[in-house]
Amino acid sequence: MSANGVMFQYFEWYLEDNGTLWKSLKDDANHLKEIGITSVWIPPSYKATGTNDTGYGVYDVYDLGEFDQKGSIRTKYGTKMELHAAINALHDKGLNVYADVVLNHKAGADGTDTFMAVEVDPNDRKTQVSQPYEIEGWVRFDFNSRNNRYSGFKWRWEHFNGVDFDNKSGKKAIFRILGENKNWSEDVSLEFGNYDYLMFANVDYMHPDVQKETLNWISWFVKETGVDGLRFDAVKHINSQFMKKFLNHIHNEFGNDFYAVGEYWESSKSIIDHYINAIDYQMDMFDVVLHYNFYRASLDGKNYDMRTIFDDTIVKHHPAISVTFVNNHDSQMDQSLESRVDKWFSPLAYGLILLRRDGFPCVFYGDYYGLTRENSMSPIRDEIDKLLNIRQNHAYGDQIDYFDHKNVIGWVRLGNEEHPHGCAIIMSSGDSGVKNMNVGQMHHGEIWIDKMGNVQDHIIIDEQGNGLFEVNGGSISVYVSQS
């Protein structure tokens, strides 16, 4: 990760099904570079169940918008050629590209197999609630239109360990597939007893052929696209020992600088700690705990104690591997993990990820460009642009915290040799306030102004380097030297 790097998640859940995202991304490359973005996380780029699928209903991971499958050649986001053009445009501007990888399941099967299975309790998947019986499941993936191009692997029932529909009886349930050495993986989240099964046809990573094919695919995919890293979806549902093997494989093949980040949607620090240890710290983790702290703060307002905003977070306890974010596609309206940070607090939250020393911040497309379905939640592009500019030019060096008030908190960045100016940040989740903070004696006599434009009065730094910095209620101000 580059100094003061910033990731940009370049999609939201409800984008229109018009196949233009790759074109838009290509055209946006220069702008992203100019505002201080250093890497772009793109949505799943392979063929899903249809062009209206955001990409997480994975059908064919070898079809990047090249073959006529699932009703079209393009994916929701465009064709393979357009994907390559977007990646090349980003690389030309010096930006890294991180691809979204969904390993947990496959969807949109071409046909059915019959096999033995048992029903399990949805709230405790270790408890079976039926005798074994034969069911018919959608688990055959032939990819006839691709005609063995890139891979001749055909998926059958033995490559999965769970489904949620019996085509023979029409029954919906969670079925655990029976067979030799076949069970739920033990190295997954313990939610619902065992959270290996999430949706669709659940991939069995205990099967040696599945492991071999998946490692072959990722080698092909990285070489084919030229991406610089991967974002792993829903890792709490995937065998952690296989994830460790997978990460070893990509780092051995593409080097230790090849980037990896995982999404483990969990608010418990101890559970995330356990997972990080299980994979030997081989990838960064999205700081879901911090996101939930932001969410609660945005709901509670002045009743939230801002001194606790970083409690139990990854960025506090594992700063070197934390990817901090405010919102993402999973937190959007009508998603199962809906937890959208309210608009009034979002500039404060972005200040808390973009202007801090620790963490790799990620800006969400919906917060910057707006959301297709949530018209009432207008974007905060202007505020994010200002914060990104401050991150680029001022937010460097040592950090001194002034987390000494329930609502009004602040901190100072003292700058470094290359960026000596520094900045002073103050925010309030309640009423307006002031805070005396020291920016260093070298600044005495200087006039400091609020780069956010929220407070019009200027601050004069005294002989000791102190300034009395102001903030409006429910707002953030970031002061820098006028000179």
Q: Is 145 helix (H, G, I), strand (E, B) or coil?
A: coil
Catalytic-labelled residue, pool 53, 187, 228, 263:
263
Question: Cα Rg for the chain, rounded, in angstroms?
Answer: 24
- Tokens coding 124: 């405790």
- Tokens coding 110: 């071409």
Scan for tokens 């059958």, then name that residue.
Answer: 156
Strand runs labelled E in 96-217: 96-101, 105-106, 111-121, 124-128, 133-140, 160-166, 171-177, 201-203
Strand order in 447-450's β-sheet?
399-402, 408-413, 423-428, 475-481, 447-450, 459-460
Contact 273, 256 (CB under 8 A): no
Catalytic-labelled residue, pool 233, 284, 287, 367:
233
250: enclosing H helix or E strand: helix 240-254
Specify whether 233 is catalytic: yes
Contact 198, 237 (CB under 8 A): yes
364: enclosing H helix or E strand: strand 360-364
d(CA 68, CA 71): 7
The helix-helix angle for 381-393 and 346-354 (nearest 10°) equals: 20
Catalytic residue set = 233, 263
